Amino acid sequence: MTAPYHTIDHLIEDIVTLPSLPSAVAELNETLSEPDCSLSDIGEVVSSDPAIAMKALRLVNSAYYGLGNEIGSVEQAVNLLGPKVIKNLVLTASVFESLGRAAEGLLRHSVTTGLAMSAIIEHGGSAAGIDADEGFIFGLLHDVGIIIFHEFLPKEHERAVQMARAGEKPLHLAEIETIGVSHADAGARLASTWKLSDRLANAIAGHHDLGGCPVTEHRPLAAMLHVAEYLSAQAGFEPLPKIVTDTDPEIWAEAGINSRDIPTLLATFFESIDDTEELVALAA
Amino acid sequence: MDWSRQGGAVVSPARLIDGRAARVVLVANRTNPKGAMIVLADSATAQNAFPLSSALDSIHPNDAVDILCMQERIFGPTALEAPDVP
């Protein structure tokens, strides 16, 4: 069967209009790259987008951040948390803003994959060069390609979903057959378009097939993201109803995780699950 | 794995990394050291039953995740949805 679209470029140029990331993220990146940027400059940029500022405040006061004392203003958050945490916070708030169109089940899967990725990073995955907050963003965005397909190619994607449900092939391969590219390809392109880090885009690209990750040093992150998605699905948060998430046995070695690590890693993940509904509500 | 209920327990056949057949028996949550047991299939005596925590090196990571998630969903205190287990 010939796929109707042959390349990601064709898909992006002719079929899909990728959502744009709130301008606060780009402006914040620009401000942070200036050597003489001050905390008040950062506060000003975040406050310039009221929707993102409000979401960032809800997020920083959520149980997920667990700060204890309520933070009432952007300025207070910037002074208390510092530029790096604020950057992750604004990006996370912006991603939640962009995920608002996702079906609730997929949103729950994305949030719990983020929580699982944070747990993996916390338990030894930090060697991959990201911290737990950044790991949460990796998980939050890993299936954003599915949201794009739902919006622009719903019939073609439904055919792929039916193939996966019938057990004919995994979802990402069924997408390649019916659409021409997988949700991992589309999600990686979105991350690049949003000028997010290469390691995030590459990890999304390889999260179902490590061969899809174009940079060897980013493959452990792609493998960790795959494991995080598996943990989310096994905990009952499948990306789509009745879609089985399989794992390739080699993934574990690439992610640097063995069976002995799993009880403590899962305990951290399970303990964070109670944050899910509060985080899902941030996308609404 | 292929889970089923047997009385108050939830059980599944399993294959260890070295190829031996076993059964996984879940009876309590993860705070109980014997809440998840691995029983070797060739001789179901007390000597051939091990807590999951001491048998992890013999279990593939996929199965370890499956076992611990099932244990949490059936017996755990978190708000995870319990799966349909026949």
pLDDT at A70: 87
The answer to whether A258 faces chain B, any CB pair under 8 Å, is yes
DSSP code at position A179: T
Q: What is the DSSP string of B31-80?
A: TSTTSEEEEETT--SGGGEEEGGGSGGGS-HHHHHHHHHHHHHHH-SS-P
pLDDT (0 to 100) of residue A108: 92
Asked if B10 and B70 touch (Cβ cutoff 8 Å), the reply is: yes
**Calpha distance A124→A119 (Å, rounded):** 9
Determine the CATH number of domain A8-18+102-281: 1.10.3210.10
B56 and A259 within 8 Å at the Cβ level: the answer is yes
Nearest CB to A270: which of B56, B61, B76?
Answer: B76
Residue A3 has a pLDDT of 54
pLDDT at A126 over 70: no
The whole-angstrom distance between B69's CA and the closest CA on chain A is 6
Residue B1's CB: how many other CB atoms inside 10 A? 13
From the CA of B81, how many Å to the nearest CA of chain A?
A: 6
pLDDT tens, A177-223? 999 999 999 999 989 988 889 999 999 999 999 999 999 999 999 99
Quick check: A264 contacting B, CB < 8 Å? no
pLDDT digits (tens, 9 = 90+) for A39-83: 888 889 888 888 888 888 888 898 888 787 888 898 888 888 888
Which residues on chain B are in Cβ contact (under 8 Å) with A231?
Answer: 65, 69
Contact B59 A249 (CB under 8 A): no
State the pLDDT at residue A215: 95
Asked if residues A77 and A56 have their Cβ atoms less than 8 Å apart, the reply is yes
Q: Which has more pLDDT, A210 or A245?
A: A210
Domain ranges within chain A, ordered by starting residue: 8-18+102-281
β-strand partners of B11: B4, B25
φ/ψ (deg, to 5) at B26: -105, 125
Torsion of CA A71, A76, A82, A88, to 10 degrees: 50
Nearest to A86 by CA among A138, A126, A129, A38: A38
Q: Is the pLDDT of residue B39 over 90?
A: yes
Contacts of B41 (CB under 8 A, 6+ apart): B13, B20, B21, B22, B23
Q: pLDDT confidence of A97, banded at 50, 70, 90?
A: confident
Using one digit for the tens of pLDDT, what is the confidence trace for A8-26? Answer: 888 877 777 777 777 888 8
pTM of the full structure: 0.90
> What whole-number distance in Å separates Cα of residue A121 and Cα of residue A128?
8
pLDDT(B59) > 60: yes
| Two structure tokens written together for A191 | 């991350």
Contacts of A249 in chain B (CB under 8 A): 60, 62
* C-alpha–C-alpha distance, residues A258 and A95, integer Å: 31
